[in-house]
């Protein structure tokens, strides 16, 4: 299935007839999806559906077995992926920082593309101003001096989003950013994402989650994955329906959309 969204310029990322095979097992099967500037996509599906694998392809972290992936106008296999990754913001819960860097310094590592601050590297005044501005816009200015090792999961998530935005990427990828957060921390994170997409209207985002409650109100498009295949993809209102989500998860699920947010519960009647 192909999903090309609104006609507002060339895709930021595009996967065409993509297969990914590992150890003889097909992880992704004939996946087609395109994300354009200003679109905010959600990738949903059960465990093992291939969501994080697809996100890794879109982030130039790996190459497809068959088909093509084009990221920021460059086809994987024909571009220096290390240079390309510098133009992609990628937020993963597995950020392997062990030292007590301050929140501000963690954000600044986004400018150097490293986990720790590199030896003998120092940020420019402009980079320092940008880090402070990003922390302010994401509501975490109070964490500038707080050690990474003392931050909560929710605080870390917002610090990592600020870090990912340091290079002013055109594309932001988020792998389950609300996983493990309590309700208050989740809502703070989602509010930050909504504010970010308002401030950066050209930014494209792709967010992976298992839970519709973890989708920000700014979500414009969605793709449902099951067994490595796209069940449905397109505008969120057309895709996030009881019928399609029930098919994707192979369980009766009733979807409610209210005040810009989604809610899912076990369905008691036939899907609509």
Same domain? 28 vs 160: no
Same domain? 55 vs 7: yes
Same domain? 54 vs 109: no
Return the pLDDT at 216. Answer: 95
Q: Is the pTM of the predicted complex or chain greater than 0.95?
A: no
The boundaries of the domain holding residue 213 are 1-87+171-177+196-272
Return the pLDDT at 187. Answer: 92
Alpha-carbon distance 215 to 209, whole Å? 8
Can you spell out the DSSP letters for 113-162?
A: TSSSPPTT----HHHHHHHHHHHHHTT-GGGTTSBGGG--HHHHHHHHHH
- Mean pLDDT of successive 10-residue stretches along the chain, which has 272 residues: 51 96 94 96 94 93 94 92 87 86 95 88 94 92 96 92 92 91 90 91 94 95 96 96 95 92 78 45
**Residues 109/116, Cβ–Cβ less than 8 Å:** yes
Same domain? 55 vs 4: yes
The CATH number assigned to the domain holding 201 equals 3.40.50.300
Return the pLDDT at 105. Answer: 96
Same domain? 102 vs 233: no
Return the pLDDT at 8. Answer: 57
Within-domain flag for 190: no
Total number of domains in the chain: 2
Return the pLDDT at 85. Answer: 85
Within-domain flag for 44: yes
Please, what is the Cα angle at 38 between 236 and 212, to 5 degrees? 30
Alpha-carbon distance 242 to 239, whole Å? 9
Return the pLDDT at 181. Answer: 87
Same domain? 235 vs 112: no
Same domain? 82 vs 105: no
């Amino acid at each position: 299935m192909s999903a090309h969204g609104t006609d507002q310029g060339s895709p930021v990322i595009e996967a065409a007839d993509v297969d990914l095979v590992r150890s003889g097992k097909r992880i992704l099967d004939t996946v087609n999806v395109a994300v354009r500037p200003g679109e905010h996509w959600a990738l949903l599906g059960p465990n093992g559906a291939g969501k994080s694998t697809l996100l890794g392809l879109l982030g130039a972290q790996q190459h497809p077995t068959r088909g093509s992936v084009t990221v920021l106008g460059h086809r994987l296999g024909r571009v220096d992926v290390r240079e390309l990754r510098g133009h992609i913001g990628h937020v993963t819960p597995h950020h392997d920082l062990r030292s007590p860097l301050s929140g501000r310094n963690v954000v600044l590592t986004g400018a150097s593309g490293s986990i720790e601050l590199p030896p003998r590297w120092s940020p420019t005044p402009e980079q320092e101003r940008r880090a402070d501005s990003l922390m302010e816009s994401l509501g975490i200015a109070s964490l500038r001096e707080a050690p990474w090792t003392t931050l909560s999961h929710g605080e870390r998530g917002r610090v990592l989003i600020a870090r990912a935005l340091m290079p002013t990427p055109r594309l932001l990828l988020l792998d389950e950013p609300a996983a493990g957060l309590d309700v208050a921390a989740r809502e703070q994170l989602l509010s930050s994402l909504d504010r970010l997409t308002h401030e950066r209207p050209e930014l494209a985002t792709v967010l992976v989650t298992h839970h519709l409650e973890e989708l920000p109100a700014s979500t414009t498009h969605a793709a449902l994955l099951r067994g490595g295949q796209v069940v449905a993809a397109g505008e969120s209102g057309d895709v996030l329906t009881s019928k399609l989500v029930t098919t994707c998860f192979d369980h009766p699920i009733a979807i409610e959309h209210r005040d810009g947010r989604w809610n899912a519960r076990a369905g008691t009647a036939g899907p609509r």
